[in-house]
Structure 1
Amino acid sequence: MNNALLALAGAIVAVAGTLLAPILSQRLLARVQTEQFERQQRAADAQWLREQRVEEVEKRRACYVTANSGYRRYRIELMKYLWLVHKGEATTQARADLEETRLSMHTAFAEAQMVASDTVLRELDAMTTTLAGAYSRTLHLEDGNPHPGWAFEEIQAELLQLGDRWRDMRGLMRADLGVDPGPAGS
């Protein structure tokens, strides 16, 4: 009887294993597929994040190029106009050129306000304030009503000093983009 019970128990286990094998293998396959899908999803998410970072850096780079160009051009145009005012040769065309570059700089600044890092934005704010002050004093000088202590030489010196400050700002922009800021004062 022991052999018969043993055989019956073996048969029950074999039948149960045969019946349960497809269910267990289906669950195991579903778990493997779920894990594989989750791995693919994590990889896709990581790829998307990398692409977003690259896109963000490209936006900031383009913004910094525009700001760099706009601010430099405005500073140069303002220096040129200041010189014309000093010589008494300022024309409406020179004033129009100055206004065009000033508006261009303000457009670059508006774009930078949306994408620049806080560090770069603080420096751009300071540069904008300094340029606005030099612009105002230049116009007062042209009108023959200069601010006390702000003659041609002082305004010119301030605009020349902005060149040194600009190199520092360029270093901040490069560092923000992950590029070596280069030697100081170069």
Structure 2
Amino acid sequence: MWHRERQITDLEQRRQCYVTANSGYRRYRVELMNYLWLVHKGEVTPQGRADLEDARHAMHAAFAEAQMIASDPVLAELDAMTHTLSRAYSRTMRLEEGNPRPGQSFEEIHAVLAGVGDQWQAMRGAMRADLGVGPASDGPPAVGP
């Protein structure tokens, strides 16, 4: 009986971790897009910067939690999304400083951020499959006899 209860607890812990991660990554992407627009329009404000940094720190905290709980396939997807968003962040900061590298214009950064749909779908799909609710799963995860 204890084994089954532990499996149920572990499943709920992963589910909550994935909700937090999905929410945190989504918020960070939105704030990064908002900030990119502020940079583009030359209207960066301390509040805009604070909103971005709050979302960025929340995403990093969600990622740190996931590193302790998530399955390997989910962690691989989160790692890839973290990399994509981190690159967009650093490119946005260089654009704000007036030092964009070739291929890092507003339009190109915006296209990356707007085009993460397939990557997002893969990340969410890995989470759902790990929880036994996605199409990649064969039904609910095993919770013991």
Contact 2:28 2:59 in 1 (8 A): yes
Distance 1:77 1:63 in 2: 21
Q: CA deviation at 1:106?
A: 0.3
Flag the structure with more relative contact order, 1 or 2, with Cα contacts below 8 A and sequence separation at least 6: 2
Q: Deviations over 1:53-110 (max 9, x none)?
A: 1000000000000000000000010001001101111111100110000000000000
Contact 1:170 1:181 in 2 (8 A): no
> Within 5 A, what are the aligned runs for 1:1-186?
47-181=1-135
> Where in structure 2 are there 5+ consecutive unaligned residues?
137-145
Given residue 93 of structure 1, which amino acid in structure 2 is its aligned partner?
Q
The TM-score, its normalising length taken from structure 1, stands at 0.71
Contact 2:33 2:110 in 1 (8 A): yes
Contact 1:172 1:181 in 2 (8 A): no
Distance 2:64 2:75 in 1: 10
The TM-score, its normalising length taken from structure 2, stands at 0.91
Say which SS state the counterpart of residue 39 (structure 2) adopts. helix
Distance 1:175 1:151 in 2: 37
Given residue 89 of structure 2, which amino acid in structure 1 is its aligned partner?
Y
Greater helix share, 1 or 2? 1
Distance 2:10 2:44 in 1: 42
Distance 2:18 2:132 in 1: 13
Contact 1:63 1:111 in 2 (8 A): yes
Deviating above 4 A after TM superposition, structure 1's stretches of 4 or more consecutive aligned residues are: none
Say which SS state the counterpart of residue 133 (structure 2) adopts. coil
Report which of the two structures shows the higher radius of gyration computed on alpha carbons. 1
> Where in structure 1 are there 5+ consecutive unaligned residues?
1-46
How many matched pairs?
Answer: 136
